[in-house]
Chains A and B, each alone.
Chain A
Amino acid sequence: MNEILLSILVFSPLLAVVVLAFTPSNQEQSLKWIGLFGTLLPLVLAIITFCQFDIGSSAIQLNEKINWISFTIAHTDSNVTMPIQYELGVNGLSLVLILLTSVVAVLAAIGSFTIKGQWKSYFIFFLLMEVGMLGVFASQNLFLFFIFFEMTLIPMFFLIGRWGYENKEKAAYSFLIYNGLGSAILLIVFVVLFMKTGTLNYGELANIFANGGSGLLDSVPGETFRLSILIALLLAFGVKLPIVPLHTWMLRVHVEAPPPVVMIHSGILLKIGAYGLITFGMGFFPAEFKRIAFSIAILGVVNLLYGAFIAIVQTDVKKVLAYSSVSHMGIVLIGLAALNDAGVQGAIFQVVSHGLISALLFFLVGVLYERTGTSYLKAYSGFVKTMPLASGVLVAAGLASLGLPGMSGFISELMSFLGLFQTKPIVAAVGTLGIILTAVYMLRAVMAITYGPLSAERGKLVDLNVREMVPAYVLLALIIAIGVYPDMLGMTIKSTLDSILSGFGG
């Protein structure tokens, strides 16, 4: 079972896709429930995977390897066979992200019950996207990674473009163009790496760049080559993360896409950028990463402050949250740029924590939008009165997002800054301004919705129903669990973290 566990996990959503394909498209309830069960299966499998995983070891575990494509090219003196393999495997980091994906997918599927019309195709796209996301984190081969990466783009394009709000088409195209550009750069990088080294396996690549030798080239590729590859990677994943001047597509997506899709998008798809930077950027090119770490730190602080300042004056709650995502991804960069235990661990924590928090916030925005038909802050006031549960969870999520201790956001903020203060104290000190600004914009938005007088025409709002409580409480519980006992997450990623950091010389 263990030999193919990961494959089963990655492709398990396809089972529901097949069932959906044979379900008549007018049977609303059964389509929705099949979609939901389709996401539960990977969750169960992900938990099984977690149980099979040996936390103490830093090696890639649950490996699967099948020869897939191989071709021979003429090289200087002899012919060289260059294989592309179907390789899956997990380490602590990717396992955590797989768990996050499967959890958020289930909750987003629950949130998708409010989708209007065309449920059949919606859930098919939704599940295909889940295959892509699981595959991205489980693959151990750049080629496979790329295929799964693309597999997340196309369903996402349709999910935004067909089920979104007013300007959905524009948002979908902007998503596709930016991410298409990003993945084009990624493809070039991967092809160049393949031609230079003859392998696409993560471990082998890292080994070649660390020790030289075993690749196609007898010597290690030069400094400039590595640096330019790293910068290309930064650019490609910077679109995804997003890093500041490349962020505008994300705002449109966050505003226009349906809330469950934004949960997935903000909760997981953005994290692929961070995952890529950590696994490829830091994993393959530690020395070069160190060289540009200062610029990354500056980029991180710029992200943090830029997002925060603009979020202060937004009038649409979705935009506030969108800019807050920009701002929070700055913390990931800050943590990575620190290049020490605390910082990188903080960045990974932030990836997970922001995934949970933003999923929760967007879920609640969806709940509010469904009831009021608007997302403008001015249209809201005093919802504590009629929707105490929703308001309570919203305030809690807002507080988590601004980094209140006892919730996951604080841990990641603390560790990222802790890390950066050791290596680049001045940059970090400027960055702490973001902590204040986050409180300002988050409280402004959350309190505008929940506090204040209740206007008369909003008298009939109903509070969270049972179906809505599940995602809200589960996410909140996870956020608090990580915040109260962070070592739970810390232990899982520790050995992976150590192996990444060993590249930096301890």
Chain B
Amino acid sequence: MSSLPLPVFLVLALILFCIGLFGALTKRNAVIVLISIELMLNAVNINLVAFSKYGPNPGITGQIFSLFTITVAAAEAAVGLAILFALYRNRRTVNVNEMDQLKR
């Protein structure tokens, strides 16, 4: 199997990251914002794995690190959804625009 060059993975990660970023910054629905964040994290994972294979110092560190990231992402999703549920119970909304308690 002929190996694809590193930039291909990086561009994929970039696209994924940008989509995630765009979603996280613009979507009104908090659930979609959380999903977008997952996208960004996965973009990072792709980068990590790609570098660990094709980077200047190939090794296993990147892959292990991406495992950590996945774990953290799972935890983050769980906590994030839990907060969202609590919020929904109190305020009956998942609209991010209405979540401005930080200001008060």
Find out whether A and B make contact in their complex, taking CB atoms under 8 A apart as touching.
Answer: no
Residues of B within 8 A of A (CB): none
